Amino acid sequence: MSSPAQINSIFSDAAAVPAEFHQDELQQLDYLVDGELRHWQGPTHQVFSPVCQPSATGLARQPLGSFPLLDEAAAQQALAAAVKAYANGRGKWPTMSVAERIGCVQEFAWRMKEQRLAVVRLLMWEIGKSYQDSAKEFDRTLDYIAATIDAVKELDRISSRFVIEQGIIGQIRRAPLGVTLCMGPYNYPLNETFTTLIPALIMGNTVVLKPPRHGVLLFHPLLEAFRAAFPAGVINTVYGAGRTLTPPLMASGDIQALAFIGTSKAADALQKAHPKPHRLRLVLGLEAKNPAIVLADADLDQAVEECVAGSLSFNGQRCTAIKILFVHQQIAADFLQRLARAVNNLSCGMPWQPGVVITPLPEEGKTDYLTGLLDDAVSHGASVVNSGGGAVNATFFAPAVVYPVNEQMRLYREEQFGPVIPVIPFTDIETPIRYIADSDYGQQVSIFSRDPEQLASLIDPLVNQVCRVNLNSQCQRGPDVFPFTGRKDSAVGTLSVSDALRAFSIRTLVAAKATELNQALIGKIVRERRSNFLSTDFIL
Ligand code: G3H
């Protein structure tokens, strides 16, 4: 697709929405603090879908409802509840046995599963994600919870024994850090939030959860599950303008871990607001501009398929998306032709349409921003090589392949986070290698070639520049057991099912000289199950 007529008629009226995807407006006024759903009576934020429908004044974003714009005092109450539940590590949750905490998370997962359709539908409407990808996000999140439970059991089993070294008996475990502020991104508002929330909780931390600007309502069906599954104050939610709510939370000094997926600028501001930044554990997923390098001997069909999926899945709104392509001059013409054809074959439309790939964009002003990037590239000598690329209709932006891109253009460095594929021709392999070395980012790279020698000569220098080198495959986060991180301005800390458990905990131990008295004391505490930490209980 991409003919002007198709783009002009991409939005349809409400009657075209299949009954199962119909979404009533949701006035979401509840927020969870200290184990109770509080009803907000202050100002609210109106939510509009990226999906537009015809109105008397032209196309208009579909209203979806509203959520509370909490003030600073309400946000501080949520923080106070998390501080109380942690109680300097003496609270019920941080001192509970791992098996009991697993029970609560399991209970939550069962309740969450019951809300699948409600959450998936809100994902579709709030951020414009296709039904297929929204369902995948939900299911992947439940799988992540199950995998986390398995990983925590394994971690606990390894720690359920004593170590005797140089006459000292020790039991070493991982303990929680304290109160964690969890903030996910709008592109994976459920999954990426939960990949920090669940490990933080299961390790015994208490949490203040702030959903992203787009993707707030979808937490509504989960509030009751949070309330019912966890002790009071273990998880608390705050809604509203991040810029006004979160710096004061950080400035309180009561937050010990910040899990944030967003821009490095916002992350830096949050970190700086903390009075004792050295006490703050950071788990950050930040910007990226992952390049693909297509060498002259690449299998072009495969390279095009992977580059299209890599750069345009969810409209290119993935931190792991391929955001710039270096293509060897020798094959550039052929590659571009295939790429333009493949891009124009993608199905564009509304999130509920089967097989749809390109959908409307949720961010205010995003199509103007992307148009600005194209205009800038054209003014510096590039063109849009696929017919209809860059056409705009309200919140919809037709995917555009831009060629040849050079360093004068904004597209060369800016993370477009949208359906634009900048392509740079090269003859010397030093060109993409230098680009990566000079880049502010260092998340991933994809290399396309059939030559083992060429691949090997690129792998060795590139693993020291980025944190994942993909061979003839798109950049991506999964599988979730693989480490996910980045260098430079792309990340702080490493996430994977097992790494996340480490990220939200610290090693701590009980040690004693192996005297007769100490052996007798430890034996009694363990035998009589007096401690949850000093214990040889083995979770099956
Ligand atoms: O936005 C970043 C996500 O973690 C990407 O995950 O590569 O599995 O789509 P994904």
Is 319 a pocket residue for ligand 1 (Cβ < 6 Å)? yes
Q: How confident is the model at residue 521 (pLDDT cuts 50, 70, 90)?
A: very high
Of 143, 191, 192, 444, the residue with max ligand 1 atoms within 8 A of its CB, to mutate for a pocket test, comes to 192
* C-alpha dihedral, 396 to 401 to 402 to 405, nearest 10°: 130
292: nearest Cα among 273, 274, 307: 307
Average pLDDT, the chain: 97
Q: What topology does CATH give the domain 290-481?
A: Aldehyde Dehydrogenase; Chain A, domain 2 (3.40.309)
Q: Which helix (H) or strand (E) holds 109?
A: helix 98-113
Residues of each domain in the chain carrying CATH 3.40.309.10: 290-481
Q: Which CATH superfamily is domain 32-285 in?
A: Aldehyde Dehydrogenase; Chain A, domain 1 (3.40.605.10)
Question: Which residue type, as a one-letter code, is found at position 281?
Answer: R
pLDDT digits (tens, 9 = 90+) for 445-496: 999 999 999 999 999 999 999 999 999 999 999 999 999 999 999 999 999 9
Mean pLDDT computed over 382-393: 97
Mean pLDDT computed over 106-111: 98
pLDDT at 1 over 60: no
The Cα angle at residue 259 between residues 438 and 485, in degrees rounded to 5: 40
CA 191 / ligand 1 centre spacing (Å): 9
d(CA 178, CA 445): 35
Is 188 a pocket residue for ligand 1 (Cβ < 6 Å)? yes
pTM of the entire predicted model? 0.97
pLDDT at 14 over 90: no
Residues of each domain in the chain carrying CATH 3.40.605.10: 32-285
3-state secondary structure of 63: strand
Of 444, 476, 495, 499, the residue with max ligand 1 atoms within 8 A of its CB, to mutate for a pocket test, comes to 476
Distances (CA, A) of 496 to 375, 486, 499: 39, 13, 5
Residues paired with 207 in a beta bridge:
180, 235
272: nearest Cα among 285, 261, 258, 288: 258
- Report which protein residue has its CA nearest ligand 1's atom 4: 477
